[in-house]
Amino acid sequence: MKDTVLLITGASSGIGRAMAFAFGREGAKIVICARKADALEQVRQELQQAHIEVLALTADVSVEADVKRLIEQTIAHFGQLNILINNAGISMRSMLIDTDPAVIQKVMDVNFMGTVYATRYALPHIMKTKGSIVGISSIAGFRGLPVRSGYSASKFAMNGFLEALRTELLHSGVHVLTACPGFTASNIRFAALGADGQVVGETMRDEGSMMTAEECADHILRAVKNRRRDLILTTQGKFTIWLNKWAPALMDKLVYNTLAKEKNSPLKRSDK
């Protein structure tokens, strides 16, 4: 990764922050992007203290002009771009019947259109370096999750987009990776939107039992180095995708019953 220029969206916390350190320790020059300037500045300082070359740029990936400027500033500063990691994302947690459609629109704008904007404007530069485009997707992009319909839709869209792009670029030398972490300890659940679009502010799951953001980042680093096509993490995630393919009706019941056990779940427990 020495002298490789890497841009990570949504890098002010969680997996994005962990990837900045993982790739930076390998010698990559890191561009971190997020909406919250104060949190982004904190990560920038931490990376500098670790002797990682870093450029911090504030941008909202759901705003096309912001993303275009982000890519332009990256090229102006470093002169090239080798790897784009589309990591910025938000979640939502509510039953569809209670959800304002504007909430799903916002989730799609960040998770899907943010990936489209960043990839589109980064692509000419990555084609020059024959680099990598990475999408941090989710198991929810393979198996729809109740109470997270908008989030699942955004990740299904991302997966289809990256698959189509990979095929378009088959003979270009550009590598496209779809990475699905599964349930990973991260702040994305704490920042999930409720039915009215307000941040819920709590997680429904036991964060302590999940893969850490740092472990996830190390897996993604290796996948980029090896130019893998797909990365499915956690045993639960692999099992979910496999069983959903061969026994989808059974998975409907298993997923329902599993998520019904979450804290304050609106789903009815079948064991009561």
DSSP string, 159-184: HHHHHHHHHHTTTTT-EEEEEE--SB
| 151 catalytic per annotation | yes
204 pLDDT higher than 90: no
Can you name the CATH fold of 5-236? Rossmann fold (3.40.50)
Active-site annotation holder among 117, 121, 151, 256: 151
Please give the single-letter amino acid code of residue 118: A
Q: What is the pLDDT of residue 181?
A: 87
Rounded to two decimals, the pTM is 0.90
Residue appearing with tokens 């500045």:
41
Structure tokens at 232: 């499915």
Q: Phi/psi at 66 (nearest 5 deg)?
A: -60, -45
Q: What is the pLDDT of residue 264?
A: 83
pLDDT tens digits, residue range 59-101?
999 999 999 999 999 999 999 999 999 999 999 898 999 999 9
183 pLDDT higher than 80: no
pLDDT tens digits, residue range 214-249?
999 999 999 999 999 999 988 888 999 999 999 999
Q: What is the pLDDT of residue 196?
A: 67
Q: What is the pLDDT of residue 189?
A: 47
pLDDT tens digits, residue range 17-57?
999 999 999 999 999 999 999 999 999 999 999 999 999 99
- 183 vs 246: which has the higher pLDDT: 246
Q: What is the pLDDT of residue 269?
A: 67
Residues 134, 136, 141, 144: what is their CA dihedral angle, to the nearest 10 degrees? 180
> Once rounded to an integer, what is the mean pLDDT over residues 4-18?
94
Query: How much of the chain, in percent, has pLDDT values that exceed 70?
Result: 90
Residues 150, 154, 155, 160: what is their CA dihedral angle, to the nearest 10 degrees? 140
117 pLDDT higher than 70: yes
Q: What is the pLDDT of residue 203?
A: 55
Q: What is the pLDDT of residue 60?
A: 95
pLDDT tens digits, residue range 128-159?
999 999 999 999 999 999 999 999 999 999 99
Give CA–CA dist 177/229, Å, rounded. Answer: 5
CA dist list (Å): 174 to 25, 135, 165, 169, 180: 23, 14, 10, 6, 20
Give CA–CA dist 193/36, Å, rounded. Answer: 17
